[in-house]
Structure 1
């Protein structure tokens, strides 16, 4: 028969009270039940499993708790060979029509995990001693503690049978940091259901491929299925129907009661999206004040957990993050379980909102925030994590498409939000101005129109009689709505920010320069409010922390503008359709961006660089984080890949001389004192100027080391080096002319250092 593998990431925990039967075997709740597919009993510390002969060759999902509530998952089968039973893990046949390799090895069809003597045969049921399965090495789990195990503390603790699921709790004894400790590890066996009807992966939509642990980006349309829940209409003839089985999330009892309504609301933000896809009441959120650990970690429960290092000294304000742990059926991409792990600390929520919206929401001017405001922030984070729990990625959804004029428009914000998707990293609306009188509820990031569109594509159900070809055509037509609705466009790029639709931590609009000016207005207001939130404190830790985060937001805002230079608008357009996948940003927009950076990045505003409270938190120029961010911006402008994109624009887009023009603008902006006859540059500006010279000198002197095309990503072309050399020659001429006017002045030493660097370069060349 064909063996199929299931593999994914997830978390599993098990526990319970034991009851002794007459024969001394431990059982639970009156035994395993007549419908149990497997039975297990713990006898004298040994775990015995009863395997019906009818289950030989049948696929099971075998899961294990891994680090930080993540799950290790395998698809396994028990098979008989002679007088032995083998536990085997197999590669998976995807419903998309392709093998998913086992352990990333295309030559492996199966691996043997364990071999058992058949034991006694009790009416076609084999009794196996499976104790060693749960702490033996060589099973190939992804996350295995690298600390030595302590045999005397390692044992099987208990078992429990839930509906179609055998759970086993194991205690590992570990030697950690020289001390003995124990760790509970939980395993589960579950029979696999029939594969659900899958949805084929398409790189133009923001869903994970079923092999979630293997991250793929870009424009490769892998053969596979997206991860999603099995939703089927109860009334197939209705346009909108309740599902046969809804998606259920269980709120863990450890979630503080005051936050439960907000977490519930964050999950339920997705209900209208599912209704647009044809499902009413697709999601249920259940709250409980008690939850036994078996149910809490069963595959039958998707649990919202409250995690993190709260109330542990020196760790209580660490910037963690919320995340999701999933269990996936690799055959079809079906989500079996999605736990939402709420791990961020309140401080992070408050700081992120304060630096963006304190001037727009008076509630944010008092630390700690009132419960209502903090609850709304928790709701926004929950809605984002719920998107992951439904199969969606972190990525860029419809960004660089929203009109900047709408950021303070209340009707627009009610309908569309300030960003198309909750899955972007836009955060909160810091572009609306106080004069817009935007209600604070509309400043929060929420489930948006792109999210509804994405759910419709992934979850809408087709009539049973509809052919596969007709279904594919229907889905393609839905994707092609992106041709006329730009905020339906998805892109995911990593390692290279190609354009203004692929930056993070800012509200992206169709005019990054204007948006940055609006953001800076609010940042200045928020800086003025910053001392208020430190009143009554016995130290300046809060003031220092929020100011540091304000600098980081300034850097991200500058980065969004910078992305215009050498940038492209990205649209994953089908090749048989009009339009382009990469459209270069206009020359005018690129020049405007460089002018803005000259004014705001190279000479940052006084309120940011020299805040009134600065003398309360600093006694030295070290560390100067603002200067470091300025240097990063200069180096990003000179990035190898940006230079290559500018070269491409010259060669293929008709942008004649744009590389030279961009470098010239950058150089004039950095050294504007030379052209404007100003006094000596500030100490920070001097360091920026020398950073620029050092980098170009290094770039021009870089020896050719690679000839293979794919390995040249971090090398400058000879053409770019020539343009750089030409700019430095021009700079040297201006410096020499200017130098005669500053001899004997305070500026003489700095400009002499610049000339020495340039003279040395030109002499060598």
Structure 2
């Protein structure tokens, strides 16, 4: 037993010793492993590395404004010191729009979604900062105000980048800083992508990282182009928090270096329509500040050797002409017409003293040529279903100098061109009476749109007032209209001459828009080189005098803004100096087209979708005429003037003109336009004329019976007394027209019943929302409208209530039910149940 115990003791000792030795070996081994891991995880040394360790031989590089390197999936900017502290304009656009967005408007390809000026500046600790630069406030008074403005406006740092490496040129000794831009481009920020306001409008939320990526980044001599794909979450549509599907965009960010030598700006004038760059000037007004607007325009200057010729009035070529290239993907048959649309502007620039100042070329057949190069302006063909075209431009915010432009030409713009031309001219042009136009006709339509969009890229705004300077009867005068055109400006939305009647025999020259005398004048005013004046302020007396001379010589030099909601002279899609006369002629032509619609839209082996589309276009055109006329009621003429010009700036539309407008509406709209209800056509189409006509009637009634309309009329009455056309007179006129069945015992047809419902609805809305019953029941201290519109609506409702009640007694059938229903609606407003 003792021997066995000894054996056990020895064995236990062996086991324990063995385990202890094993543990020793284990810990020894583990210690070594830990030591190895510690060496492997040691963080890399901070600060820049040797250039070749960052930009390896794997790098794919493009050279230009600064070098752009792609190493594996990482992107690097190699920014030379010469670019540091230079102003760089960043313009963000949609390249491809979201295919399906469930909430709101998603934007078109080509739409600008953000614009910023940035600078790259060296910071401490081997950092490169990206700063956002604002030119909204400026001062050049170096004696003091300049520094005050600087101190009050610290430019924010919107990006901070570690300098990964430096590179020094062995010849010039110039240094460049290498930064990685991958995370900045892959992320979401308002500098390179959507401006926050645009983002809110599109209801976009955060970016989804794993569904977003950098497509390409390329460098060119004066710009860098960043193309990314971004997938965004949309904000919830409902309070329940249900989130719509994500949406994906292709976005393009252009980084363009701004000129070192600034162009002399030209100050804007509201009498000549240009886009502007704006800022607050702290120097111009010694006792305050002044808002400055500079027109957007290209820098056109004579060559040094031609300066004296230019001063003598000889035509000379500019140092740098405006050249447009046609996207090589454009269908060949349309290229000549797009080129002609650009070249048509040459005559206008001759007014400014330059020949061959603008022209278009086909894109070079050269693999090194790129449409994305900012040195090249282009008309970009987009194979898209969008029926549109647009003419944006990139300008220097410091001076307004236009640097480049890419006109967006969407393939399907031809569809809307066809529909416009068909519905406005088929009565007078046999070539328009088909669903597919000849290449020559479509080419001429493309040419006019090309000229219009080029005008925008030259800095010109829409001139909606241009067509109103032409007497309506002149549009029927074959000799006059073919010589002068139906509008003095291609920048108007005055598509085609819908006033001309078949018996006038007006040819294409009197039907198509063209560059007119206003366009010639606006180019002369904006582009005339004036070296005799050192500053834009010095130019003002001369330019002001020229504007006054032009306006005194011919009112067709007038500019009418596209942003005036009150002036009936400034309207889209209208013609002539009298909407009532022009629209009457337009309706006559629609009445000629409608009976022929089945024949003119017929195509073998097809259904009636063509007819449906063009019938809808006729309804839409009729609706435009109604709205053109409606704007005269409570209208206010606005005529910008300088103190050297006599006359009023603001005038109310005369009462006689407002009554003329109401008489037109009574005949053409309030009395049911039965000619639109063509049974032979309607029975073949999936359309409801009751709904279509009712939609127009509702829109017109809502505009007539509104707080805005009544308030303007009351203002007119306060100024002009008994000569003014008042809200009570308006309602009295409308009542006689829309409620003529009251007291007659006649049945009211469905169109008139709907019209009367719209009328009551408009009055109820006015009574409820403009300080009416609902406002009166609000808690004490809640503000009420000071407008009399609510009271006027309520008084009129009381009168109508009495007459409708009497009419309901002598009516029967649907008409009786209609009147009883209206009485209930009125009672709910005038005597709300407690």
TM-score, shorter chain, exceeding 0.5:
yes
Distance (Å, rounded) in 2 between the aligned partners of 1:532 and 1:403: 34
1:75 paired to 2:135: no
Between the aligned partners of 2:762 and 2:502, the Cα distance in structure 1 is 42
**Residues 231-261 of structure 1 deviation map (CA, whole Å, 9 limit, x = unaligned):** 1123223223211111010000111111111
Distance in structure 2 (CA, Å) of the matches to 1:156 and 1:723 = 61
**Number of corresponding residues:** 706
Change (3 A) 1:488 1:290: same
Aligned to 2:297: 228
Aligned mates of 1:171, 1:746 — CA distance in 2: 61
Question: 1:604, CA displacement in angstroms?
Answer: 3.4
| Distance in 1 (alpha carbons) for counterparts of 2:542 and 2:822 | 63
Deviation at 1:378, TM superposition (A): 1.1
- Which residue in 1 is equivalent to 2:88? 60
Tell whether the 8 Å contact from 2:389 to 2:407 is kept in structure 1 after alignment.
Answer: yes
Task: Name which of 403, 408, 414 aligns with 1:336.
Answer: 403
Matched residues in 2 for 1:373 and 1:625: separation? 31
What is the alpha-carbon distance in structure 1 between the residues aligned to residue 247 and residue 434 of structure 2?
45
- Inter-CA distance 415–111: structure 2 relative to 1 (3 Å threshold): farther
Report the CA distance between 1:221 and its aligned residue. 8.9
Which residue in 2 is equivalent to 1:120? Answer: 166
Task: Please list the CA deviations of residues 71-94 of structure 1 after superposition, one character each: whole Å capped at 9, or x if unmatched.
Answer: 655433332234424232242447
Cα distance in structure 2, aligned partners of 1:747 and 1:672: 14
1:304-346 per-residue CA deviation (whole Å, 9 max, x = no partner) reads 011142xxxxxx4xx5311123222111111111111112432
Gapped regions of structure 1 (runs ≥ 5): 1-20, 213-219, 310-315, 708-713
1:262 Cα offset (Å) = 1.1
TM-score by length of 2: 0.77
Secondary structure at 1:684 match in 2: helix
State the Cα deviation string for residues 661-687 of structure 1 (Å, max 9, x = none).
Answer: 111111111012237x47212111011
Distance 2:134 2:829 in 1: 59
2:754 aligns to what? Answer: 687
- Give the corresponding residue for 1:86: 128
Distance in structure 2 (CA, Å) of the matches to 1:221 and 1:638: 39
Distance in 1 separating the partners of 2:473 and 2:555 = 16
* More helix, by proportion: 2
Query: How far 1:154 moved relative to its partner?
Result: 4.3
Higher-Rg structure is 2
1:250 aligns with 2:317: no
Q: How does 1:331-480 map to 2 (within 5 A)?
A: 331-343=398-410, 344-464=412-532, 468-480=536-548
Are the counterparts in 2 of residues 150 and 175 from structure 1 also a CA contact under 8 Å? no
CA deviations over 1:588-643 (Å, ceiling 9, x no partner) = 11111111111111123322133531111148x58711111111111111122111
Deviates more, 1:682-691 or 1:37-46: 37-46
1:281 corresponds, among 333, 337, 356, to 356
- Residue 193 of structure 1 deviates from its aligned partner by 3.4
**Distance in 2 between the 1:189 and 1:275 partners?**
30
CA deviation string 1:97-130 (max 9, x = no partner): 5999xxxx98552324232336335244134133
Match of 2:157 in 1: 111
Give the counterpart of 2:222 among 138, 150, 165. 165
Deviates more, 1:406-415 or 1:278-287: 406-415
What SS does the aligned partner of 2:469 have?
coil
Q: 1:221 and 1:366 mapped to 2: Cα distance?
A: 56
TM-score (norm 1): 0.83
Range 544-553 or range 116-125, more displaced? 116-125
> Distance in 2 between the 1:195 and 1:388 partners?
22
C-alpha separation in 2, matches of 1:623 and 1:638: 22
1:723 and 2:774 equivalent? no
SS of residue paired to 1:56: coil
Q: CA deviation at 1:289?
A: 6.7
CA distance in 1, matches of 2:750, 2:60: 76
Alpha-carbon distance, 1:285 to partner: 0.3
| Alpha-carbon spacing, 1:131–1:648, altered in 2? closer, same or farther (3 Å) | closer
Report if aligned partners of 1:154, 1:170 keep a CA contact under 8 Å in 2.
no
Q: In structure 2, do the counterparts of structure 1 residues 467 and 635 end up closer, same or farther at CA, with 3 Å as the change threshold?
A: closer
